[in-house]
Chains A and B, each alone.
Chain A
Amino acid sequence: GAVVSQHPSRVICKSGTSVKIECRSLDFQATTMFWYRQFPKKSLMLMATSNEGSKATYEQGVEKDKFLINHASLTLSTLTVTSAHPEDSSFYICSASPVPGTNNDEQFFGPGTRLTVL
């Protein structure tokens, strides 16, 4: 089956530092990857759509200069939380969508990254 990995699984950082989270599709190519944020006891909120070789599309209210997304290859997307603050502490989850034409609508989720900003 399709596997998506995320690294790191958890990270603790000091306020003001930057944190990079990697999302990899291990056994399929993903033209598109999605980044979600989930606060405790809340739903998954889409932050941005990451497109290979082009700029990410951010959802309303998500600061593109704070949450930098790079999708340099068909198997890797990165999310960098710049100048992190305690309110950025959350569970960040990526998902990957197979290359169009595979007749598969399912998105495959990474295991998530727990970010704690002190």
Chain B
Amino acid sequence: GENVEQHPSTLSVQEGDSAVIKCTYSDSASNYFPWYKQELGKRPQLIIDIRSNVGEKKDQRIAVTLNKTAKHFSLHITETQPEDSAVYFCAASIRTDKLIFGTGTRLQVFP
């Protein structure tokens, strides 16, 4: 079955700096890769997603890149702000099939 690894587990950055979180997946059939932001006690919130027919997608300060050959994808947050502090999860699935989540990255943005 699918296995998703995520690094780093914690990430501390200064406000205004960039943050990068990386994930690798094992199942080459996976074709949908969402990223979620989760605050304590809340549901995961989709912040960006990418499908396997696209190599990069950007939405304001957030971008995701996908390398299908290497089976890894990354989340890039530029100009980080304190409100970006949260736990971020990557996930992989085959279309609307079950999502397999990475282990999570706790991002802290210091003012």
Contacts and interface: CB of A to CB of B under 8 A. Distances in A.
A105 B44 contact: no
B89 A44 contact: yes
Interface string B47-63: 00101000000000000
By size class, the interface of chain B is 20 to 34
The secondary structure that dominates the B interface is loop
Nearest to A46: B98
Contacts of B89: 43-44
A71 B65 CA distance: 36
A84 B83 CA distance: 37
Interface of A: 32, 34, 42-46, 49, 91, 93, 95, 97-98, 100, 104-107, 109-112, 114
Interface of B: 32, 34, 41-44, 46, 49, 51, 89, 93, 95-96, 98-104
